[in-house]
Amino acid sequence: MKIGIIGAGLSGIIAARELIRRGHTVELTEKSQSVGGRLATRRIGDGRADHGAVYFTVRGEALKREVQSWMSANWVRVWYADPYPRYVGTDGMNGLAKHLAEGLTVHLNEHVEHVHIEEDSTISVKTDVTRRSYDQIVMTAPLPQSFELLGSLVDQVTPSLRRLVYAPTFVGLFECTGDVQIGEDGILDHDLTPGLLKVINNQQKGITATSLISVYMEEAWSEEWYERPEEETLAEVERLFREEVRDIDIVSRQLKRWRYAQAKDVWHEPFYRVSHQPIYLAGDIFLEADDPSGRTRFESAYLSGLRVAEAIEKNIGR
């Protein structure tokens, strides 16, 4: 079975690994220049800064077993535990994604433009580079993007799923001089200046030798500022950061804009099949019915990828 996966974030990578393990041929198509999605790390000067997922936690046995193997391979480590471990990629969160994607067939820098079912029931995926055909596909991009690609097929998606919405997030990245201390462990995430969600010192986090600070903005603030000029937005992020952390010397600054950073609602199944078509939707917005947290996170993305692969194997020929 030849299976295409749109989006090479965590869900797509995990689904691909599991489907290949089960004997299928799998290709991923990713619009960015790297795998990982929100497992994102940016090079700044001689250092690196995470600007997507800050860390991840583990609740279930499936991910717990995987994380043990990742730790043995030195792909991840514990940043701090309060009260339970926060895991980070040893070389940044994107480094973990790259390790997980090793050996996979990934078409980077390709924008999918349209998904179409042919008369022979194969699925045609047209990109800005070429057209490929698959027996099944998994779409792991944020739902609004996936729905746009489906065209008229989106009418076969239940309206309640189509109504789910996402909130944006801005992340300011600041290169500083000197010894900057952000809390005890390199993170501030409580009782912050209004507008700030988290302040992270990537040096204290242990992924860089230089002082690089990631400043995450609250959902409501990001929505209010989303359409404003980037220079103006970055200046306001810096002002709020300086209000929270005094006496810092900033030598460079940049802004990351996540349009679909966090789902405001979730779907209480780990994936969704589009009617009886060989098309599946997956990602961190899809939670298992008994998920104890009730929110999107690293583990929900991991489990969604795993469960959709299991479902494809089970449903082949149906």
CATH number at residue 9: 3.50.50.60
Note the pLDDT tens digit of each residue in 229-282. Answer: 999 999 999 999 999 999 999 999 999 999 999 889 999 999 999 999 999 999
pLDDT for residue 103 is more than 70: yes
- The DSSP code sequence of 30-83 is -SSSSSBTTS-EEEETTEEEE-S---B---SHHHHHHHHHHHHTTSEEEEEESS
Q: Assess whether 247 and 169 both reside in one domain.
A: yes
Mean pLDDT over the full length of the chain = 96
Query: What is the mean predicted confidence (pLDDT) over 99-103?
Result: 98
Q: Assess whether 227 and 252 both reside in one domain.
A: yes
Q: Assess whether 186 and 89 both reside in one domain.
A: yes
What is the length of the chain?
318
Note the pLDDT tens digit of each residue in 145-171. Answer: 999 999 999 999 999 999 999 999 999
Q: Assess whether 84 and 192 both reside in one domain.
A: yes
Note the pLDDT tens digit of each residue in 75-93. Answer: 999 999 988 999 999 999 9
How high is the pLDDT of residue 292? 79
How high is the pLDDT of residue 318? 59
Query: What is the mean predicted confidence (pLDDT) over 193-206?
Result: 98
- Indicate the pLDDT class of residue 178, thresholds 50, 70 and 90: confident
Q: Assess whether 30 and 83 both reside in one domain.
A: no
**Model pTM score:** 0.96
How high is the pLDDT of residue 316? 78
In the chain, how many domains are there? 2
Rg of the chain over all Cα atoms, to the nearest angstrom: 20
Residue 301: domain span = 2-36+101-163+265-315
pLDDT for residue 317 is more than 60: no
Q: What is the CATH number of the domain that holds 209?
A: 3.90.660.10
Q: Assess whether 175 and 284 both reside in one domain.
A: no
